[in-house]
Copies of this chain bind each other. A is one copy, B any other.
């Protein structure tokens, strides 16, 4: 399990490859499911040109690690990798990577979904968007994405 919160640009697929080459035993996992969240150039109907992502150093990592541990305990998975970017970013930048390796793809899908859902619900991050018109505002609530309750039910 590896959890990283970083200001540097995130290259999600380089991170997956690096993790596979350095941490995972070759030839043992049957598959990897990954989610990469990228910054959109719109939100709630407004054009967005930049974003600053604030976080609580220490607490953020701790809560992501808790969610990853729950996923490792809840499904038959071999490893979980999360890399999350903070600070200033721009449309189409990758913000977050969640990758889950497993011998069985059903477990990998379930666990990956669990991690991204709970990371979004519990990990302390705050988005401050800058619109094309130059106005800065804090995002007040996460865009609702179905699936959190559903994913929670599946955790054992």
Contacts and interface: CB of A to CB of B under 8 A. Distances in A.
Interface of A: 13-14, 16-17, 26-42, 91-92, 103-106, 108-109, 112-113, 116, 145-147
Contact of A92 (B13, B27, B104, B113): B27
Instruction: Quickly give the copy total for this chain.
Output: 2
| 5 smallest beta-carbon distances between A and B, as pairs | A13-B13, A27-B41, A27-B91, A106-B147, A27-B92
10 contacts: A13-B13, A13-B17, A27-B42, A27-B91, A28-B40, A31-B38, A37-B105, A106-B145, A109-B109, A109-B113
A39 B37 CA distance: 27
A27 B40 contact: yes
